[in-house]
Structure 1
Amino acid sequence: MARTFLVTGASKGIGLALAHRLTRDGHKVVGLARGANAEFPGTLVPVDLADTRATDAVLADLTGRFSFDGVVNNVGLVRPQRLGSVDLTALEDVMRVNLHPALQAVQALLPGMTERGWGRIVNISSLTVLGAVERTAYAAAKAALVSFSRSWALELATTGITVNAVSPGPTETELFRANNQPGSEGEGRYLSAVPMRRFGRPEEIAAAIAFLLSEDAGFITGQTLHVDGGASVGKAGF
């Protein structure tokens, strides 16, 4: 059955890969992103998701035009800082971008999904929630998304709406590479922690998200799926 999904942070990386995956599967995708992308396979709406009022206005317009069956809260912001250098402005920026649009999107789509008795919410977390240097703000925000998922899953358990999180490991996206250049110490540190000895591809993360959005995932809720090449398990013995 064809569905309509909203994806935030949809113009590149995992969001764009997911939009292509869902479109190939016969679904309609509406994306929210600050930048444009001519390769986007659905409806891409420009909006600065850090702007609460602008985000609310766009969501109000879209929910009047589309009957959404689910949302993927994928937008993210990283501000790497060592503990002694973390400033409150950066902390607030990271929290706002990672968390506020997720809550706004779910609140906007919830009445329609509840009325139809079917819905899917997937929050994109991160392997960094298990601990990462220079990620005080980002890891905290992504951990909050896991907490959101568990709390919302309980609240919505009898509504036909499932809520889950996907926690990617190091993935070859623009955001990751902006903070971990090829050959850098950061790249080496992340790669050494992945038992598979490689980074994930956006398409691989998208496949996991697409499953949680599917009919087949109807009895899965409140869970966090780690898609990380084994990094959340531990280091391989070699």
Structure 2
Amino acid sequence: MDKSPHALVTGASSGIGAAIVERLLRDGWRVTGISRRPAPFNHPAFDHLSLDLGEVDNIANAVAGIAPTALVHAAGMLVGELGSLDHDDGTAMWRLHVDVAERLANALAPRLPKGGRIILIGSRTASGAAGRGQYAATKAALVALARSWAIELAPRGVTVNVVAPAATETPMLKDPTRANVAPKLPPIGRFIRPEEVAHAVAFLLSPEAAAITGQQLVICGGSSL
């Protein structure tokens, strides 16, 4: 029987999610990646679960047979600035960021072992950012969820944290529909790299991070200085 740790990672087909999958496979994890599109991994320790997370009523059944060591919710989207908000898109974004996190955690937390981990990918904009109000609100909600769940799960040795990067070099960053809210470069002179987010996630998943829970780790490139 394979004793390798097992992570369930959403948004596995591209961007931060794909970088996290790549890092964990390199570290000897088994990974089940959730995405609508096929994930770009041909690895014996990787399984792909094709699932549209927007169809939230299907989530519990889709993961019913999975008992992972860790849940990493990296799937995301970005819409809207004030004055041109699309409320349907805003609802879809809340559903993907927050409702999906709730449903996955609700289904999987009871099956997480001692030393289990939940990591939610947030954003440094969670405290507010011009042109990103709806997005920031969803990411702020993830921090509240993580802190609350951390209190509940700490007696079981399970940690819950948020990794919150500034603008990251992903397909979402290059989306032409975001031209009106294009982010400024951080003081380090470049955007955050997906693999840098993955490295932070890998640390929080490690035994060395067992005492870190209910926290938001911001990777800002100096933006908060």
Superimposed CA distance per residue, residues 170-223 of structure 1 (whole angstroms, 9 cap, x where no aligned partner): 111011111577xx6644x421xx111111111111000010011110000011
Pick closer, same or farther for the CA change 1:103–1:185 going to 2, 3 Å.
Answer: closer
Asked if structure 2 preserves the Cα contact closer than 8 Å seen for 1:20 and 1:40, the reply is no
Counterpart Cα distance in 1 of 2:55 and 2:210? 33
Task: Give the structure with the larger helix fraction.
Answer: 1
Question: By how many angstroms is 1:131 displaced?
Answer: 2.4
Aligned counterpart in structure 2 of residue 17 of structure 1, from 7, 16, 19: 19
Partner of 1:175: helix, strand, or coil?
Answer: coil
Whichever residue aligns with residue 177 of structure 1, its letter is K
In structure 1, the partner of 2:152 is 155
Whichever residue aligns with residue 52 of structure 1, its letter is V
Counterpart Cα distance in 2 of 1:210 and 1:179? 31
The number of equivalent residue pairs is 221
Counterpart Cα distance in 2 of 1:180 and 1:23? 33
Asked if structure 2 preserves the Cα contact closer than 8 Å seen for 1:129 and 1:139, the reply is yes
Partner of 1:35: helix, strand, or coil?
Answer: coil
Partner of 2:174: helix, strand, or coil?
Answer: helix
Asked if structure 1 preserves the Cα contact closer than 8 Å seen for 2:18 and 2:39, the reply is no
Structure 1 residue 195 corresponds to structure 2 residue 187: yes
Structure 1 residue 205 corresponds to structure 2 residue 201: no
**Structure 2 counterparts to residues 145-184 of structure 1, below 5 A:** 145-179=142-176
Question: By how many angstroms is 1:53 displaced?
Answer: 2.0
In structure 2, the partner of 1:72 is 72
Structure 1 residue 57 corresponds to structure 2 residue 61: yes
**Structure 2 counterparts to residues 14-163 of structure 1, below 5 A:** 14-39=16-41, 41=43, 42-60=46-64, 62-63=65-66, 67-79=67-79, 81-113=80-112, 116-163=113-160
Q: TM (normalized to structure 1)? A: 0.87
Counterpart Cα distance in 1 of 2:176 and 2:58? 28
Q: TM (normalized to structure 2)? A: 0.92
Whichever residue aligns with residue 6 of structure 1, its letter is L
Superimposed CA distance per residue, residues 25-68 of structure 1 (whole angstroms, 9 cap, x where no aligned partner): 111010101111343641111110010122222111x32xxx31
Partner of 2:189: helix, strand, or coil?
Answer: coil
Question: By how many angstroms is 1:117 displaced?
Answer: 2.2
Structure 1 residue 227 corresponds to structure 2 residue 224: no
Counterpart Cα distance in 1 of 2:70 and 2:39? 22
Partner of 2:77: helix, strand, or coil?
Answer: coil
Higher mean C-alpha displacement, 42-51 vs 89-98: 89-98
Partner of 2:172: helix, strand, or coil?
Answer: helix
Whichever residue aligns with residue 32 of structure 1, its letter is I
Asked if structure 2 preserves the Cα contact closer than 8 Å seen for 1:172 and 1:199, the reply is yes
Unaligned runs of 5+ in 2: none
In structure 1, the partner of 2:210 is 218
Unaligned runs of 5+ in 1: none
Whichever residue aligns with residue 11 of structure 2, its letter is G
